[in-house]
Amino acid sequence: MDYLDGRIEIMEGDITRLDVDAIVNAANKTLLGGGGVDGAIHKAAGPKLLEETRTLGGARTGEAKITAGYKLSARHVIHAVGPVYHDGKHGEPDLLAGAYRTCLELASQNACATLAFPAISTGVYGYPREPAARIAFRTIIAYVEQHPEIKLVRYVLYGAAALAAHQRVLDQVRME
């Protein structure tokens, strides 16, 4: 499925395999790897990725930092730190929106015209799927509409249920 004249796509798949300028990692504040999509990206990129992230000094929640992609098809990895979800009243929505926005800004600054996002914070960090999706799509659409240098954003879901739920939310957000 694609939206905004084909500039936003949502799809099911493994983000580590995508041939885009940058893939986004759902990292933690250390930027030194972990489980979930973070573990998969480090495994696919090879040990040089960890060597580079060791030099970055971590990142704050709601921020992101960019590295090379090493053995990945993607030229870059943008390591975003989403919030751990408590009850939604601890700044989680703004922190999640900030993580997406910083990734998009880093893509613009580093001439990454095509990028792919996973559903940041919706795994280990426990952010409920629908509210997280609403924040993700609102932030991505608002940015892409203002930034023609971003040609394609792929939003990559793990599993058919996650894809269907995200499709519903994206359809709602487009009507707002």
**Tokens read off for 22:** 């940058």
The answer for residues whose C-beta is within 8 angstroms of residue 127's C-beta and 6 or more apart is: 82, 83, 85, 92, 96, 120, 121
| Stretch touching ligand AR6 by CB under 6 A, among 53-61, 71-79, 104-112, 123-131 | 123-131
State yes or no: residue 38 binds ligand AR6 (CB under 6 A): yes
Question: For ligand AR6, which is the closer residue by CB, 15 or 104?
Answer: 15
- 171 is an active site residue: no
Quick one: DSSP state of residue 36?
H
How far lies 137's CA from each of 17, 42, 99, 133, in Å?
22, 26, 13, 6
Q: What is the 3-state secondary structure (H, E, C) of 14-25?
A: CHHHCCCCEEEE
Kindly identify the residues of this chain, within the stretch 92-121, that bind ligand AR6 according to CB under 6 A. Answer: 118-121
Question: For ligand AR6, which is the closer residue by CB, 28 or 102?
Answer: 28
CB atoms within 10 A of CB 74: 26
Strand-pair partners of 115:
22, 153
Out of 8, 22, 28, 70, the residue judged to bind ligand AR6 by CB under 6 A: 28
State yes or no: residue 74 binds ligand AR6 (CB under 6 A): no
State yes or no: residue 31 binds ligand AR6 (CB under 6 A): no
State yes or no: residue 15 binds ligand AR6 (CB under 6 A): yes
Minimum Å gap between C-beta 10 and ligand AR6 is 12
The amino acid present at 16, given as its one-letter code, is T
Q: Which of 85, 120, 106 has the alpha carbon at shortest distance from 149?
A: 106
| Stretch touching ligand AR6 by CB under 6 A, among 36-44, 61-69, 135-143, 147-155 | 36-44
The site for ligand AR6 (CB under 6 A) is made up of 14-16, 26-28, 34-38, 40, 82, 118-125, 156, 158
- The set of catalytic residues is 38
